[in-house]
Amino acid sequence: MYKFPTTLTSMYLAMQTWRSCGMAICFLRWFHISRLELEHIEKYPNAKLISLGIGDTTEPVPQIITSTMANYANALSTADGYTGYGPEQGHKALRKAIVKAFYKDLQIKDTEVFVSDGAQCDITRLQLLLGSKVTIAVQDPSFPAYIDSSVIIGQAGDLKGDGERYGSIEYMNCGPENNFFPDLATTPRADVIFFCSPNNPTGHAATRKQLELLVKFARDNGSIIIFDSAYSSYVQDDHCPRSIFEIPGSRQFAGFTGVRLGWTVVPDELLYSNGFPVIHDFNRIVCTCFNGASNVAQAGGLACLSSQGFKAVNSLVDYYMENANILGEALASVGLQVYGGANAPYIWVHFPGSISWDVCKDILEETHIITVPGSGFGPSGEGFLRLSAFGHRECILEAAARLKTLFL
Ligand SMILES: Cc1ncc(COP(=O)(O)O)c(C=O)c1O
């Protein structure tokens, strides 16, 4: 096996998931929240519980996608329609369609696209590629899989005294005070920077200027950016790039949700400091540890990228963004400081000076609404709550009304 050098030349990988159909699960402290939910149901068996907790989509997958998958699955029972293993990197037609739909003018080649079973699995496979010797930096707060996979692979070091941070991970504070972008002047160099935009949990989408600064920082330091753009289709503001590859000097990594489909882009030019192309190692990891996404899911992915499928998926995005708008407006109208929700299906609400678990429990007790305490996403999430905009419209309207009554 190729031995990875500890110093890497700057590189950009990017990942994305189809948050608009299927199911998005954030593992973070999930069992704590589900325990809280179960205890609440036991205590109030007749209450109408509304979940704004786990980022779990609720609206049906468009028929054009499910019928294509059903047809593909039925054909597997016929001599002509049966398919065995496909290419580990994904079907050519899908890889080409991904490039056409998402990277048209960005010089991404279909051979740089690795179709996968979702971003979560790709994060861990990338960590396997990077190994235990690299140093990593994460946004604080951030999607927990970056830190959890870092712990599993052995990069994280020991938990510090406060029990909130790992000694070998650089936590880049991203809060309202710095427009959710790290102070790069004081950020130490790391081999790998995990960066998620639009961000889960804060809902902040980095501006072009912010991403330019990040890319420059990574290039100056010879760092890798692993850019998680799972929520890129929710970006409404054209000042916020949907892909890191829109920034000159960089090139990207991207998924379905419940159906489990995603993709990672590893640019050819991405090299280790000894000149060895990273794409060769990633290809080896994919062929060894994965063996390719389900053919049925890939058929659904291709249907998603047809003009009818794309339109249907985008109308789901619009639906969830309207939910975000309803929730954001309701909370702002009662004087709460609300962030996110404009370019991402998450609302990040500030409760200055409060313990986020206490606020989460109080809201549950008073309104029967599940939320996620910000502290579960990292130390800088303390004092915040994350609300998911995934939900049926009637539940979102009901939740908005209950929250307004509570905080008025
Ligand atoms: C930021 C982010 N990245 C990745 C994932 C995992 O995506 P997938 O369902 O494609 O594994 C999630 C899921 O919530 C997420 O929020």
In short, whether 120's Cβ falls inside 6 Å of ligand 1 is yes
What per-residue confidence (pLDDT) applies to 9? 44
Beta-carbon contacts of 325 under 8 Å, excluding residues fewer than 6 positions away, are: 341
Which tops the pLDDT comparison, 99 or 21? Answer: 99
What per-residue confidence (pLDDT) applies to 368? 98
* Residue of 20, 27, 120 to mutate, ligand 1, most atoms within 8 A of C-beta: 120
In short, whether 257's Cβ falls inside 6 Å of ligand 1 is yes
CA 51 to ligand 1 centroid distance, Å: 18
**How confident is the model over 314-332, as pLDDT tens digits?**
999 999 999 999 999 999 9
Nearest ligand 1 atom, CA 257: 9
Percent of the chain clearing pLDDT 90 (strictly above): 80
- Cα torsion 33, 356, 143, 322 to 10°: value is 90
In short, whether 9's Cβ falls inside 6 Å of ligand 1 is no
Taking the model in full, what pTM does it have?
A: 0.91
Mean pLDDT of the chain: 90
DSSP character at residue 272: B
What per-residue confidence (pLDDT) applies to 1? 32
In short, whether 232's Cβ falls inside 6 Å of ligand 1 is no
CA 24 to ligand 1 centroid distance, Å: 6
* Residue of 143, 232, 343 to mutate, ligand 1, most atoms within 8 A of C-beta: 143
Which tops the pLDDT comparison, 25 or 295? Answer: 295
> For the residues 143-162, what does the mean pLDDT come to?
94
Nearest ligand 1 atom, CA 262: 10
Identify the band that residue 54 occupies on the pLDDT scale cut at 50, 70 and 90: confident
What per-residue confidence (pLDDT) applies to 30? 65
| Identity at 256, one-letter amino acid code | F
What per-residue confidence (pLDDT) applies to 105? 87
> For the residues 77-106, what does the mean pLDDT come to?
94
pLDDT of 206 higher than 90 = yes
In short, whether 17's Cβ falls inside 6 Å of ligand 1 is yes
What per-residue confidence (pLDDT) applies to 23? 31
DSSP 122-155: HHHHHHHHH-TT--EEEEES--THHHHHHHHHT-
Q: Which residue, judged by its Cα, is nearest atom 3 of ligand 1?
A: 230
CA 262 to ligand 1 centroid distance, Å: 10
Domains of the chain (ranges, CATH numbers):
11-21+65-304 (3.40.640.10), 30-60+307-407 (3.90.1150.10)
| Identity at 16, one-letter amino acid code | Q
Q: Looking at the DSSP assignment, which residues form a beta bridge with residue 12?
A: 225
What per-residue confidence (pLDDT) applies to 249? 66
Q: How far is CA 62 from CA 73, 301, 303, in A?
A: 17, 12, 10
pLDDT of 251 higher than 80 = no
Q: For residues 319 and 298, what is the distance between their CA atoms, to the nearest angstrom?
A: 25
CA 184 to ligand 1 centroid distance, Å: 25
In short, whether 262's Cβ falls inside 6 Å of ligand 1 is yes
Beta-carbon contacts of 220 under 8 Å, excluding residues fewer than 6 positions away, are: none
> For the residues 297-301, what does the mean pLDDT come to?
95
Interior angle at CA 370, CA 369 and CA 373, nearest 5: 130
pLDDT of 16 higher than 80 = no
What per-residue confidence (pLDDT) applies to 136? 97
pLDDT of 257 higher than 90 = no
Question: What tokens does 94 get?
Answer: 């899908």
**How confident is the model over 346-404, as pLDDT tens digits?**
999 999 999 999 999 999 999 999 999 999 999 999 999 999 999 999 999 999 999 99
What per-residue confidence (pLDDT) applies to 3? 36
In short, whether 345's Cβ falls inside 6 Å of ligand 1 is no
